Amino acid sequence: MDRAASWGEAVWRVWEDAPEPVRYGALCIIAIYAIWLVLFFTQRRILYFTDPTRIHPSDCELDRTEETELGTPDGHTLIVWRADAKDDALPHILYLHGNRRALWRRARFFRLFIASGWGLSALAHRGFNGSTGRPSEPANVADAILAFDALVAEGIRPGRIVVYGESLGSGTAVQLAAARPVGGLILHAPYDSFRDIVRSRTAWLLPRAIFRERYDSIRQIGQVKAPVLWLHGDKDRIIPQGRGRRLYDAALSTKYAALVKGANHFGIYTQAVFNQHVRFFAEACASLNGQGRPGPEMSVIDPVLPKEDAHPELSKGRVPLAGKRR
């Protein structure tokens, strides 16, 4: 105790004798490290905008779609909206949503899959749409792999499963496709590295070491063997197309790029984009049955979209809900 007290007194004397600029500088450094420490432990609560409201697919008027539950090894329950394909030759979409995007908000796009006769498994990440637990990068990736393995265990050929990752979910989708032999990978408004996006928007003041949620897709995309479809709007202000283009350029497998002119971050969900790109790509992948062949790169720029399609959040139309189930 005496030794500790003497050390404390010595430090205090040094502090009192130090010039004011040195003391202010030291306080600033201590404050910065304190902020970094708080961000390290609280970033998951800051990052994920969860929506626990549990809505059944029938409330969104989705045909052939049922709500199922998937148990995780750590004791949580995941909600999955599930529709079986009308034919075994058709693709089965494993959909991984973005941040703040509960499943019912994507019913408009799910209808396009279902109307085409495809299979659909839309996974609600932890904390969304009735799934229990808290989301995190390790949990999201593990849950996506679990959902994929469950589909294969049911007898669905891996080559028929096309993984669709939207926005933040694209990082999960890339890691899933790097770990499992998926039939195809659709990246909807993706990014190269979530960590680097945040650092660039904070003037690079945050060190890499404090990030627990990294989603470094650009480090994983080279391990993906399946064909890749890249979709991005040229008016995207949330994830600029340049960030997504870096990821596309780093992909080594057969890849296709579709830049949707006039579309913002939420404006890719259109019938035209589905018909021209998503349907062609997914059904081609299912027909290959996982036997991806090297092919030329293909890039397409869509014509300018009508305003109500490019900016659906400005549209008056909303998904009709017959009621909410909790």
Domain ranges of the chain: 2-46, 51-314
pLDDT reported for residue 205: 72
Closest by CA position to 118, among listed 72, 62, 76: 62
| Distance of alpha carbon 269 from alpha carbon 309, whole angstroms | 8
Whether 93 and 113 have beta carbons less than 8 Å apart is answered as yes
Q: Model-level pTM? A: 0.81
Where the chain has pLDDT below 50, the residues are 294-296, 301-326
Instruction: Report yes or no: 162 and 116 within 8 Å, Cβ to Cβ.
Output: no
pLDDT of residue 70: 97
Residue 299 pLDDT: 53
pLDDT digits over 162-172, tens only? 999 999 999 99
How many whole angstroms from its chain centre is CA 308?
Answer: 24
Q: Pick 51-314's CATH classification: 3.40.50.10140, 3.40.50.1820, 3.40.1370.10, 2.40.37.10.
A: 3.40.50.1820
pLDDT for position 46? 73
Q: What's the token pair of residue 154?
A: 């049911």
**Cα gap 78→139, rounded to integer Å:** 11
